[in-house]
Amino acid sequence: MQRGTNTTRGAELAATQIGLGADVALQLAVSTGIGILQITADAGKLGVVSDVNQNGLHS
């Protein structure tokens, strides 16, 4: 699998960090970041995108 293409892994990593107390997740990994943004939105946390405006994904 290519780097940056596993949305499930991104979600797992974000959920772990939120569980440890993170309030913000910085998404740097293209498709993997979609999982990060979904988990942060579901948890009411802030997901920051680095490369493309994705405001409409999880509003």
pLDDT of residue 1: 56
State residue 48's pLDDT score: 87
Give the span between the Cα atoms of 37 and 21, in whole angstroms: 16
For residue 6, what pLDDT is reported? 85
Tokens linked to 21: 């107390």
Domain spans of the chain, in order of start: 7-49
pLDDT at 42: 94
Could you state, in chain order, the average pLDDT of each consecutive group of 10 residues for the chain (59 residues)?
78 95 88 87 90 67
CA–CA distance from 48 to each of 4, 45, 51, 57 (Å)? 16, 10, 10, 12
| pLDDT of amino acid 54 | 66
